[in-house]
Amino acid sequence: MGLDLPNDDRIKDPVPETNLGCPFQADNARVHGEEQKVMLLTGASRGIGHATAKLFSEAGWRIISCARQPFDGERCPWEAGKEDHVQIDLSNHRMLPRAITEVKKRLAGAPLHALVNNAGISPKTPAGERMTSLTTSTETWMRVFHLNLVAPILLAQGLFDELRAASGSIVNVTSIAGSRVHPFAGSAYATSKAALASLTREMAHEYARHGIRVNAIAPGEIRTDMLSPDTEARLVPSIPLRRVGTPDEVAKVIFFLCSDAASYVTGAEVPINGGQHL
Ligand SMILES: NC(=O)c1ccc[n+]([C@@H]2O[C@H](COP(=O)([O-])OP(=O)(O)OC[C@H]3O[C@@H](n4cnc5c(N)ncnc54)[C@H](OP(=O)(O)O)[C@@H]3O)[C@@H](O)[C@H]2O)c1
């Protein structure tokens, strides 16, 4: 006795055929003349955020960015970058309602396809050493947790309608330090990233019924301003790929998670670390 499958078009491949090739091309709205996709990216001015903004803008996305510094048109060549930049300190939770209002103003009712919570801080001692739970001030704990954990919660809450309208995708940037003691990352940073990884799981569960996917990426040692000067000497020998990563290698994974190529991926935390966690 065989299976009685309906011989009609009710059973379909959930992924449209156009998305089976290179996700970068499939998502290039400009190339396909489709609606332009929009992302909100925190911390787009430097490092991983900067590489992410460049990659998405090359693929035709519109980038709305948030950071403390004003927009630098020379370093950030993406279109309408100045108008779409919200200058704000996300570690001050009282500023979050203003950030959300500013983003909504720029969206003007348009859907939001991606929210990438990338801005983060990893404070060190004046000598550049890791800050321990014995020595970190209450003020530093609060600043780190507000930026690294609370801002992603409030941004997603505040922009929920816009994300739902796009069946959008959230990517939280965690860290290898969230799952193991790290020689340079301090306790406040590590625990904020561990909490962000747990939050990703909780949000993925809660947002799934609304068609919103929530994932995280956990970078290892990536060459940005955040990297401690001794990283190459002390850590590279124990990284299986024997090098630190580059911001664009992280950006490509964020892009994958925000693309239709990842349409069945939610609640994942993708390590990007050259095998450092193995
Ligand atoms: N680099 C690594 O090896 C590594 C490893 C694991 C995880 N990560 C994570 O990856 C993310 C990006 O790191 P990165 O290395 O690219 O850092 P980065 O080069 O130091 O850049 C940080 C970005 O966040 C913005 N930012 C910092 N504080 C902010 C605040 N209070 N409000 C708004 N924006 C703020 C900065 O812009 P302004 O200064 O203009 O505010 C900047 O654009 C972080 O979440 C970090 O924890 C990095």
How many residues are present in the chain? Answer: 278
* Rounded to 5°, angle at Cα 134 from 117 and 176: 35
Chain-wide mean pLDDT for the chain?
89
% of the chain surpassing 90 pLDDT: 78
219 Cβ below 6 A of ligand 1:
yes
Q: Which residues are catalytic?
A: 189
Higher-scoring residue by pLDDT: 15, 218: 218
Q: What pLDDT shows up at residue 35?
A: 86
What is the rounded average pLDDT of the residues 74-98?
Answer: 89
In this structure, is residue 27 part of a structural domain? yes
What span, in angstroms and rounded, lies between the C-alpha atoms of 264 and 270?
A: 14
pLDDT band at 32 (very low <50, low <70, confident <90, very high): low
The conformation of residue 142, written as its DSSP 8-state character, comes to H
Give me ligand 1 centre to Cα 104, in Å.
23
Higher-scoring residue by pLDDT: 277, 25: 277
In this structure, is residue 131 part of a structural domain? yes
Of the ranges 5-14, 71-80, 108-117, the best mean pLDDT one: 108-117
Asked if residue 8 has pLDDT above 50, the reply is no
Closest atom, ligand 1, to C-alpha of 221 = 3
Q: What tokens does 196 get?
A: 């962000």
Asked if residue 16 has pLDDT above 70, the reply is no
Give me ligand 1 centre to Cα 43, in Å.
6
In this structure, is residue 15 part of a structural domain? no
In this structure, is residue 120 part of a structural domain? yes
What is the rounded average pLDDT of the residues 94-106?
Answer: 96
In this structure, is residue 14 part of a structural domain? no
Q: Which of 12-21, 123-132, 156-165, 226-235 has the lowest mean pLDDT?
A: 12-21
224 Cβ below 6 A of ligand 1:
yes
38 Cβ below 6 A of ligand 1:
no
How many structural domains does the chain have?
1
Closest atom, ligand 1, to C-alpha of 45 = 43
Give me ligand 1 centre to Cα 120, in Å.
4
Q: What pLDDT shows up at residue 33?
A: 60
What is the rounded average pLDDT of the residues 178-190?
Answer: 95
Closest atom, ligand 1, to C-alpha of 46 = 43
Q: What pLDDT shows up at residue 245?
A: 97
In this structure, is residue 111 part of a structural domain? yes
23 Cβ below 6 A of ligand 1:
no
Higher-scoring residue by pLDDT: 200, 16: 200
Asked if residue 30 has pLDDT above 80, the reply is no
Sheet containing 62-67: order of strands: 85-87, 62-67, 38-42, 114-117, 169-173, 213-219, 269-272
Q: Let me know if 10 is exposed, middle or buried by CB neighbors in 10 A (0-12, 13-18, 19+).
A: exposed
* Residue 96 structural domain: 22-272
- Which amino acid belongs to residue 215? N
149 Cβ below 6 A of ligand 1:
no
pLDDT band at 275 (very low <50, low <70, confident <90, very high): very high
The conformation of residue 222, written as its DSSP 8-state character, comes to B
In this structure, is residue 95 part of a structural domain? yes
Q: What pLDDT shows up at residue 2?
A: 38
96 Cβ below 6 A of ligand 1:
no
What is the residue with the minimal CA distance to atom 23 of ligand 1? 43
In this structure, is residue 6 part of a structural domain? no
**CATH code, domain carrying 148:** 3.40.50.720
Of the ranges 16-25, 75-84, 130-139, the best mean pLDDT one: 130-139
